[in-house]
């Protein structure tokens, strides 16, 4: 496994901006890959792709850059995690991690024995160069793979210190929508209770060994969140960029 540029940058205390890949389009991945983002996140929780399209997207990004390629898996499931990693991504994001035990399960699913439970297919999988770089992949995996756990519930906020202390967890990523939904106030981001949950999560993660991640929208909010202590922001998405550019063009034409 090659050096993870995003992981190195975050460890150096630098900020990082990334872009979602919600579509299953390798063309969109290639376009985004040619930009200056620090990483892309292939989304398999809400995105429409499958493992075949994810491999195509990974190849497309790699054809134009050495940008870090991450994937959000659908759930904290060892089989889903194994298959995502075997296709060669540089890291994964696991939704709705609520306890240290769940974080430990995610880490174990990523690692081979004796430090994990992942089935050893590196001799044939794409991640190991179809066998050509299997030894290098196995040797560097624990050091270079990025493991991100999402904090998306009130329960998770209460357990942040324990989750962040799990060896192998690199980042805790706040999911604002589901966090607000967990207290029955979906999308009510100006509500005092919702704001308090978000700020508590932010402050606890800043005080922890883990990097702090979140979503953001637009330059003003993104810069503000960086100023507030966030290390990693998914500040755009392929489908959103396409839609906003089209909407802006049409609005200008109608004037």
Q: For 12-68, how does the pLDDT look when each residue is reduced to its tens digit (9 = 90+)?
A: 999 999 999 999 999 999 999 999 999 999 999 999 999 999 999 999 999 999 999
Q: What is the pLDDT of residue 133?
A: 96
Contact (Cβ atoms closer than 8 angstroms) between residue 67 and residue 33: yes
Q: What residues are annotated to the active site?
A: 46
72 token code pair: 């959000």
For residues 92 and 71, is the Cβ–Cβ distance under 8 A?
A: yes
Q: Which two tokens stand for residue 174?
A: 């706040």
pLDDT value of position 2: 87
Which spans in 36-175 are helix H?
A: 51-64, 78-86, 100-110, 134-144, 154-158, 160-164
pLDDT at 120: 95
pLDDT of residue 255: 72
Segments in the chain below pLDDT 70: none
Q: What is the pTM assigned to this prediction?
A: 0.97
Cβ proximity of 102 and 160 under 8 Å: no
Two structure tokens written together for 122:
């590196």
| Distance between start and end Cα atoms, the chain | 52
């Amino acid at each position: 496994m090659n050096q993870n540029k995003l992981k190195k940058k975050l460890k150096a205390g630098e900020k990082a901006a990334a872009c979602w890949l919600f579509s299953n389009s390798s063309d969109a991945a290639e376009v985004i890959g040619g930009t200056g983002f620090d990483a892309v996140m292939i989304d398999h929780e809400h995105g429409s792709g499958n493992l075949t399209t994810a491999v195509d997207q990974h190849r497309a990004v790699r054809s134009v850059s050495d940008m870090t390629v991450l994937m959000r898996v659908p759930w904290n499931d060892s089989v889903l995690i194994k298959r995502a990693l075997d296709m060669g991504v540089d890291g994964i994001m696991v939704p709705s991690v609520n306890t240290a035990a769940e974080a430990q399960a995610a880490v174990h699913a990523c690692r081979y024995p004796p430090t994990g439970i992942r089935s050893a297919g590196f001799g044939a999988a794409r991640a190991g160069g179809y066998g050509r770089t299997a030894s290098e992949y196995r040797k560097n995996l624990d050091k270079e793979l990025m493991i991100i756990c999402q904090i998306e519930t009130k329960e998770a906020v209460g357990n942040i210190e324990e989750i962040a202390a799990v060896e192998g967890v690199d980042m805790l990523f706040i999911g604002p929508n589901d966090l607000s939904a967990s207290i029955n106030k979906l999308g009510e981001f100006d509500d005092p209770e919702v704001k308090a949950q978000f700020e508590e999560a932010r402050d606890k993660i800043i005080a922890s060994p883990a990097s702090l991640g979140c979503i953001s929208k637009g330059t003003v909010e993104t810069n503000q969140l960086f100023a507030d202590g966030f290390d990693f922001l998914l500040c755009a998405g392929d489908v959103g960029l396409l839609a906003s550019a089209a909407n802006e063009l049409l609005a200008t034409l109608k004037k």
